[in-house]
Amino acid sequence: MNNNVTTVGSNEYVFRKIGFASATCPPFLFKETISSYGSDWKRAYEFFNWVENEFQFKHNIDTYNRMIDVLGKFFEFELAWNLIDTMKLDKLNYPDHTTFRVMFKRYAAAHMVNEAISCFNQMGEFGLKDETSFTNLIDALCDYKHVIEAEELIMGKDSPFGINTKLYNIMMRGWLKMSWWGKCREFWESMEEKGIQRDLHSYSIYMDIVCKSGKPWKTVMLYKEMKKKEIQLDVVAYNTVIRAIGLSEGVDMSMRLYREMIELGCKPNIATYNTIIKLLCQSGRLRHAYAMLKQMPEKGCFPDVITYQCFFGTLEKPKEMLKLFDRMVESGVRPRMDTYVMLLRKFGRWGFLRPVFIVWKKMEEHGCSPDAFAYNALIDALIQKGEVDMAQKYDEEMLAQGLSAKPRKELGTKPLGVQSDDCQ
């Protein structure tokens, strides 16, 4: 066996490799294994090479693209390009639009806009410098808030392709991410001025824009305009209108719209139920919210972590919250780190340490390492109850892991930096 296997990985890592390295093992399991090491590119890359060298596993386009994605996440673009060069030699796994969409996304995420554009310019040698690739480039730039540069590309005199509905929709979504409401409106209005057809997605995006900009009643007006134009709404559009009409006219109107979409043959999805449950919870109608929670599996739509967080944000009794938390876990819904943090902060704010430690223990049992936000929530709760020595212990544990501590006069700590709240 390759010596690097034992020096890099834990027992679990080696077990995974042995378990998946089989001639009869479907390729998607190899892809999933690479994904499972998405926070450690060296392990992922070692596994990628290991199964090929030791078991003669033939990588396919999906495993190549997934590995390129992991490498790009950690700015290992040279290695990513090496893989692309390898793919060029394999007619069955030649780089495709997905390969370069991944590259665009990772360059944009790293704020390497010039490199993303250069990548697009190189696509001629792969026979992929076409409108699809250009659209993918614009989409990636807008996703990571490089909307100004994206606008220059599609509106500039050297733009390789003409403007169309899809590009305008992408740009509006980009300005939405930036919360530049004026630019959103400018693009919306210019579509009509330039004779660019507004489609269902245009309306869905702009309805979301006006709702999030604090004008939910305008979303309802756009919905009525769509009905007048006989544009058939899909579930995404309905979800936006259900939220908007609930904010502007009350949750009963949301329920009426929910019934309308079902009657018209538009099947609600998890976001539909989460939107209505959140509106019911915010309106203090917990009994109705619980009734909808119970109905969801019967409707073929199972609650997710967002569903339960709608309740956690509203409930005011620790016992009821812990009971619902257990129900969530028992149903197979995995809590996210922000779920734990929400509960820790809420219990801590109320001054209840016992439920704080119950949640902390469950987090560890579920194999979720606490992040800076979780530690800070626990330490705040301890300090509030006068447990300074215990708070000091967790503060030191937190700092030993390189996480960012809040400045606290009780402990004399200083901030080290900002840490994300993702569960590793």
pLDDT in tens, the chain (424 residues): 333 333 344 434 543 544 544 455 666 777 787 887 777 899 889 988 888 887 777 889 999 999 999 999 999 999 999 999 999 999 899 999 999 999 999 999 999 999 999 999 999 999 999 999 999 999 999 999 999 999 999 998 888 898 999 999 999 999 999 999 999 999 999 999 999 999 999 999 999 999 999 999 999 999 999 999 999 999 999 999 999 999 999 999 999 999 999 999 999 999 999 999 999 999 999 999 999 999 999 999 999 999 999 999 999 999 999 999 999 999 999 999 999 999 999 999 999 999 999 999 999 998 888 989 999 999 999 999 999 999 999 999 988 888 877 888 888 765 444 444 444 4
Tokens 């796994």: give the residue. Answer: 93
d(CA 9, CA 5): 6
pLDDT at residue 24, rounded to an integer: 54
Q: Does any domain span residue 388?
A: yes
Cα atoms in the 13 Å half-sphere on the side-chain side of 280: 22
pLDDT at residue 414, rounded to an integer: 57
Q: Does any domain span residue 99?
A: no
Q: Does any domain span residue 246?
A: no
Q: Which residues pair with 413 in a beta bridge?
A: 408
Helices (H), 199-250: 200-212, 216-228, 235-249
pLDDT at residue 408, rounded to an integer: 86
Q: Does any domain span residue 256?
A: no
User: Do residues 29 and 20 make contact, with C-beta atoms less than 8 angstroms apart?
Assistant: yes
Q: Does any domain span residue 331?
A: yes
CA distances in angstroms from 59 to 25, 38, 54, listed in the order given = 12, 18, 13
Taking the CA atoms of the chain, what radius of gyration do you get in angstroms?
25
pLDDT at residue 321, rounded to an integer: 97
The count of residues in the chain is 424
Q: Does any domain span residue 328?
A: yes
Q: Does any domain span residue 424?
A: yes
The string of DSSP codes covering 131-160 is HHHHHHHHHHHHHTT-HHHHHHHHHSTT-S
Which structural domain range is residue 325 located in? 319-424
pLDDT at residue 25, rounded to an integer: 61
pLDDT at residue 26, rounded to an integer: 66
**In total, how many domains does the chain have?**
1
d(CA 289, CA 88): 54
User: Which contacts qualify for 326-335: CB closer than 8 Å, 24 or more apart?
Assistant: 328/303, 329/362, 329/366, 331/302, 331/303, 333/303, 333/304, 333/305, 333/307, 333/308, 334/305, 334/366, 335/305, 335/362, 335/363, 335/366, 335/368
- 272 conformational bin, left if phi > 0, alpha if psi -120 to 50, beta if neither: alpha
Q: Does any domain span residue 118?
A: no
Q: Which residue type is seen at 335? A: P
User: Do residues 145 and 178 make contact, with C-beta atoms less than 8 angstroms apart?
Assistant: yes
pLDDT at residue 421, rounded to an integer: 46
d(CA 302, CA 316): 24
